[in-house]
Homo-oligomer: A and B are copies of this chain.
Amino acid sequence: MPPDSRTASPTRPMRADARRNYDRILAAAAEAIAEHGAEASLEEIARRAGVGSATLHRHFPSRRRLLEAVFRDKVEALCATAADLAADPDPGHALSTWLRAVARHAVSNRGLATALMQGSHDGDPTLGGTCHSMITSAGADLLHHAREANAARPDVTITDLLKLVNAISLAVEQEPDGADQADRLLTLALTGIHSAAEPAGR
């Protein structure tokens, strides 16, 4: 969330020092999360950023908000990819390509899967532009097209699919060959146990 120009309310722009600290914290958080995952110590992030822990908590009242901010641009990129793929003549292929892209991002950015998973079901109902909701609506479109083309069974929801992708990503996040494993598991999940060797995705 770009700290100035908030949703609708005409908040006055941030003071220069606040802005500076905000950015420093974000950078430090990105580093720390890359190293230690979504559970990285908030105190250490504050330490790295050279600010007091209170400052961190003022800018990001919950770990969730921090994750959201850290991964906002990655999520936007994924949404853009979805928009591109929406024009693909093979909607089934587009959908599975996109899900694969989500998985790839999630395993190479520790913490992303966690950020994508966290719906707004826990307090704090004032979140409209969460990673979760952004990615969900981006994917809903692709699924919609796939369904029309009979490339996805009608009872499956985008929430199901993303839950699957994120669950897989989380599970392999700390394995050394995470990317490979995620890809193989996702393939498995998309095409089923039985099909022999066919790339059934297209």
Q: How many copies does the complex hold?
A: 2
The answer to whether A197 and B167 have CB atoms under 8 Å apart is no
Known: A160-B184, A164-B188. 11 other contacts (CB 8 A): A153-B196, A156-B193, A160-B181, A163-B168, A163-B185, A164-B168, A167-B168, A167-B171, A170-B171, A189-B189, A191-B192
Q: A146 — nearest CB in chain B belongs to which residue? A: B193
For A166, give its contact among B154, B156, B166, B171 (CB under 8 Å): B171
Interface centre among A170, A184, A194, A197 (most CB of B within 10 A): A194
Interface size on A, residues (CB 8 A): 34
Residues of B close to A167: CB separation below 8 A: 167-168, 170-171, 185
A190 at the interface (CB under 8 A from B): yes
The answer to whether A153 and B194 have CB atoms under 8 Å apart is yes
Q: Is the interface of A mostly helix, strand, loop or mixed?
A: helix
The answer to whether B151 and A194 have CB atoms under 8 Å apart is yes
- Inter-chain CA distance A117–B171, complex, in Å, is 8
A1 at the interface (CB under 8 A from B): no
The answer to whether B171 and A189 have CB atoms under 8 Å apart is no
Residues of B close to A152: CB separation below 8 A: 193-194
The answer to whether B197 and A153 have CB atoms under 8 Å apart is yes
- Inter-chain CA distance A117–B95, complex, in Å, is 29
- Inter-chain CA distance A81–B193, complex, in Å, is 21
The answer to whether A164 and B189 have CB atoms under 8 Å apart is yes
Known: A163-B171, A185-B163. A190 touches B193 (CB 8 A): yes
- Inter-chain CA distance A170–B170, complex, in Å, is 9
Q: What are 16 A-B contacts defined by CB distance under 8 Å?
A: A95-B193, A151-B194, A152-B194, A153-B197, A156-B188, A161-B193, A163-B168, A163-B171, A163-B172, A164-B185, A164-B188, A167-B170, A170-B171, A189-B189, A190-B192, A192-B200
Q: A198 — nearest CB in chain B belongs to which residue? A: B153
